[in-house]
């Protein structure tokens, strides 16, 4: 049986990589590898997962330097000469081993006013939003985000500017800006504007390249830049 | 700095980049023409002296540089060194004013 040489980050900020030999199996995912280490070699290894099928987004880690969902990443696709390096997501405080504190990520979602606020009550008629309307199409292109943090980990601007809201929060804001039912869009545009918001994006497109849902936060951020600039120039903000 | 001011800086940098794109192409084309045709410094100055079109072109070119470069520097020092705040804003404003004054002085000098 062939073995996989796996380096796994252990500890918190002051930790180190520790090497493990894991039996290679057919159709093995990186999450299978981490689970094997915890169940058969070192039960103290901390990591997160839930659904195992790419729905929850909780198993995201850095695998050979790139943020990925480990449940949907086959070892055969990422191992280099039988070697894997598995680390926690970048740009988030480490809790232990492969577990990061996602609080800053979700706090920024809140800062970007990522919750819907409409004006209708349940006594009103349903709002009619045509599926082929331009704004609904913009929403469709961005709405499938499950908040895994892969884009946030891959973003250089978050690394250089810790106040930067990041791709996921801005992508969520973009879906709401295009939601014709929402009534708080000017507040939202103000919340995502400026040096810590959409205007800090350098269009590196790492978020777009790494998003497992094939969303392009870069496109949404570009839309936000235009929408905010237009609102400021017209004196609405 | 208010978010409105930050958005206006971003907009100014985008617009100045568009102007620079055109100006750099025209500037390079002029340089290549001058070199290919063996124009001496005196011959070049002979064409720029009293020429309001060239003066306007280079005044606009310099203005675009003086707007674009300091805004970019502000971001670079923030992201590279973590330097942010009013002092940095003031420092890049000084850089912008200096670029504008030196550049316009040069443009006026070749105008004659």
Q: Residues A123-132, buried b or exposed e (16+ Cβ, 10 A)?
A: eeeeeeeeee
Those residues of chain A whose CB sits closer than 8 Å to some CB in chain B are 157, 160-161, 190, 193-195, 197, 199-200, 225, 228-229, 232-233, 237
DSSP string of A190-225?
HHT-STTTGGG-----HHHHH-TT---HHHHHHHHH
Q: What domains, with CATH codes, occur in chain A?
A: 3-100 (3.10.20.30), 103-233 (1.10.1060.10)
Nearest CB to A190; choose among B3, B75, B78: B3
pLDDT tens for B58-85 read: 999 999 999 999 999 999 999 999 999 9
Nearest to A199 among B1, B10, B84 (CB): B10
Flag whether pLDDT at B12 surpasses 90.
yes
**pLDDT classification of B112: cutoffs 50, 70, 90:** confident
pLDDT of residue A21: 97
Name the band, by pLDDT with cuts 50, 70 and 90, for residue A213: very high
Put simply, the answer to whether A194 touches B78 (Cβ < 8 Å) is: no
H or E element that contains B82: none
pLDDT digits (tens, 9 = 90+) for A144-188: 999 999 999 999 999 999 999 999 999 999 999 999 999 999 999
Give per-residue pLDDT as tens, A128-142.
999 999 999 999 999
Q: What percent of chain B has pLDDT over 70?
A: 100
ipTM strictly over 0.95? no
pLDDT at A1: 73
What CATH number has the domain spanning B3-111?
Answer: 1.20.1300
Residue B110, class by beta-carbon neighbours within 10 Å (0-12 exposed, 13-18 middle, 19+ buried)? middle
């Amino acid at each position: 049986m062939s073995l996989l040489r796996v380096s796994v980050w252990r500890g918190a900020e002051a930790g180190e990589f520790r090497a493990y030999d894991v039996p290679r199996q057919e159709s093995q995912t990186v999450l299978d590898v981490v689970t094997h280490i915890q169940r058969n070699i070192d039960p103290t290894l901390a990591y997160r997962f839930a659904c195992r099928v790419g729905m929850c987004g909780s198993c995201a880690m850095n695998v050979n330097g790139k943020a990925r969902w480990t449940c949907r990443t086959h070892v055969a696709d990422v191992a280099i000469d039988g070697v894997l390096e598995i680390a926690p997501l970048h740009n988030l405080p480490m809790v232990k081993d492969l577990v990061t504190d996602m609080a800053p990520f979700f706090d920024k979602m809140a800062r970007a006013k990522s919750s819907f606020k409409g004006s209708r009550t349940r006594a009103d008629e349903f709002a009619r939003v045509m599926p082929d309307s331009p704004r609904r199409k913009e929403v469709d292109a961005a709405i499938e985000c499950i908040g895994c943090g892969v884009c946030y980990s891959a973003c250089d601007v978050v690394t250089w500017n810790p106040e930067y809201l990041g791709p996921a929060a801005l992508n969520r804001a973009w879906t709401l800006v295009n939601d014709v039912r929402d009534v708080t869009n000017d507040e939202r545009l103000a919340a995502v504007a400026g040096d810590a918001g959409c205007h800090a994006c350098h269009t590196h497109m790492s978020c777009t390249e790494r998003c497992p849902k094939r969303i392009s936060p870069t496109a949404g951020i570009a839309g936000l830049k235009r929408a905010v600039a237009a609102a400021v120039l017209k004196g609405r903000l | 700095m208010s978010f409105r001011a930050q958005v206006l800086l971003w907009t100014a940098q985008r617009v100045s980049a568009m102007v620079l794109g055109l100006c750099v192409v025209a500037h390079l084309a002029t340089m290549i023409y001058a070199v290919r045709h063996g124009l001496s410094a005196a011959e070049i100055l002979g064409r720029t002296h009293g020429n309001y079109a060239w003066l306007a072109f280079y005044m606009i070119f310099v203005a675009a540089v003086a707007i674009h470069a300091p805004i970019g520097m502000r971001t670079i020092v923030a992201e590279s060194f973590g330097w942010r705040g009013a002092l940095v804003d003031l420092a890049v404003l000084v850089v912008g004013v200096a670029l504008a004054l030196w550049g316009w002085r040069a443009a006026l000098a070749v105008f004659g």
